[in-house]
């Protein structure tokens, strides 16, 4: 089963994303701020992390940076979800290693398609690596 960590400090948005992903059959774990996110990241394995940018204790860019800086977590796909839409912030998220960016409010169908695409790309990549050996 695919494990997805959602990091979001807005309760309504957190519940909405959790419900969308749970109904789609994903195993969903949540964190309400950067501190909780780092605890979750350190204590479990995830296929995808969906993170807000603006939140207490550590922002989404710090989450992206930490995941990409840890050799045991680099494989995790990262989707940044935020109402911050300025080009500088989006560019920084991608520069740090985010795989995708969605502007709030999100659409359920679009989120599910982007998750499926990331999982398919990851699956294709691992098949290529296995074939080369």
Give residue-wise pLDDT tens across range 5-29.
Answer: 999 999 999 999 999 999 999 999 9
Coil, helix or strand at residue 82: strand
DSSP 97: T
CATH topology of domain 3-132: Rossmann fold (3.40.50)
- Structure confidence at residue 86 (pLDDT): 83
* SS3 label, residue 128: helix
For residue 130, the model assigns a pLDDT of 43
- In the chain, domain spans: 3-132
pLDDT (tens place) for every residue of the chain, 133 residues total: 899 999 999 999 999 999 999 999 999 999 999 999 999 999 999 999 999 999 989 999 999 999 999 999 989 999 999 887 788 999 999 999 999 999 998 999 999 999 999 999 876 655 544 444 4
Which pTM was predicted?
Answer: 0.91
**Distance in angstroms (rounded) separating the CA atoms of residues 62 and 59:** 5
Give percent above pLDDT 90 in the chain.
Answer: 80
Q: What is the DSSP string of 21-79?
A: HHHTT-EEEEESSHHHHHHHHHHS--SEEEEESS-SSS-HHHHHHHHHH-TTTTTSEEE
């Amino acid at each position: 089963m695919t494990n997805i960590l959602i990091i979001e400090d807005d309760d309504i948005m957190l519940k909405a994303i959790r419900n969308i992903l749970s109904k789609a059959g994903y195993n969903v774990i949540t964190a309400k701020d950067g501190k909780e996110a780092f605890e979750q990241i350190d204590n479990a394995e995830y296929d995808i992390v969906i993170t807000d940018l603006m939140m207490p204790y550590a922002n989404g860019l710090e989450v992206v940076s930490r995941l990409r800086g840890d050799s045991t977590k680099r494989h995790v796909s990262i989707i940044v979800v935020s109402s911050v839409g300025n080009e500088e912030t989006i560019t920084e998220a991608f520069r740090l290693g985010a795989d995708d960016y969605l502007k709030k409010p999100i659409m359920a169908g679009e989120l599910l398609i982007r998750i499926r695409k990331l999982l398919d790309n990851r699956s294709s990549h691992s098949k290529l690596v296995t074939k080369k050996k």
